Amino acid sequence: MALSALSAFGGTAVEPLKVAYLYHFTHFIGWPDLPPGAPFVIAVIGDPVLAEALRALERDERRVENRPIRIRTIETRETESGLQCDDCQLLFVGAAAQDRIDRILDAVAGRAVLLVGDSPGLARRGVAINSFLKADILGEGERLRFEMNPAALAGRGLKVSSQLYEVARVLP
């Protein structure tokens, strides 16, 4: 392993980067039949730090499909009594909730909800987009990458741009 200069670009904290990725994902995906006048809801379960970082989208008055973004935090324990995510368009499953993934999948089965995660193996367990850190080929740090599971998108009515598949690691 060669030692390289630690990049003076210094890198970006991972949470703002994940926020930017999530925001960009919404531009490559189409949600059918969004209720008129309703906000675009991004829900987060199992990652309060990311939930807080996502509130920058609200403060910055960012919009998806010309709707204001709203961030909703879901407590992990809510999976015990039945997860309510009827108004969600995107649900982020954090590491602290990965053990509850089966209950989460049941709660949003067949609905137009994009499931996103960041824990190893989560895409194979049914999450549509799962991010991970990949070491730079020249050894100058790490970059955020993501894998996609087409089977996890099937049956949800979401329209996914082929551009997203081009930059993702697609599970067979």
Q: What does the binding site for other proteins look like in residue numbers (CB under 8 A)?
A: 1-14, 16-17, 19-21, 23-24, 27-28, 56-57, 60, 62, 133-134, 136-145, 163, 167
3-class state of residue 148 by DSSP: strand
Exposure of 73 in the CB half-sphere (CA atoms within 13 A): 11
Residue with smaller CB distance to other proteins, 2 or 35: 2
The distance of closest approach from Cβ of residue 22 to other proteins in the complex, given in angstroms and rounded to an integer, is 10
Pairing of strands 142-148, 63-64: unpaired
Residue with smaller CB distance to other proteins, 87 or 140: 140
The distance of closest approach from Cβ of residue 38 to other proteins in the complex, given in angstroms and rounded to an integer, is 22
Do 141 and 7 meet the contact criterion of CB atoms below 8 Å apart? yes
Q: What residues pair up with 129 in beta bridges, in sequence order? A: 116, 148
The distance of closest approach from Cβ of residue 28 to other proteins in the complex, given in angstroms and rounded to an integer, is 8
Residue with smaller CB distance to other proteins, 31 or 146: 146
Radius of gyration of the chain, Cα coordinates, nearest whole angstrom: 16
Distances, alpha carbon 107 to alpha carbons 24, 45, 55, 68, in Å = 25, 13, 24, 24
The sign one gets for the Cα dihedral 47, 48, 52, 58 is positive
Residue with smaller CB distance to other proteins, 25 or 31: 25
The distance of closest approach from Cβ of residue 11 to other proteins in the complex, given in angstroms and rounded to an integer, is 4
Residue with smaller CB distance to other proteins, 9 or 77: 9
The distance of closest approach from Cβ of residue 94 to other proteins in the complex, given in angstroms and rounded to an integer, is 17
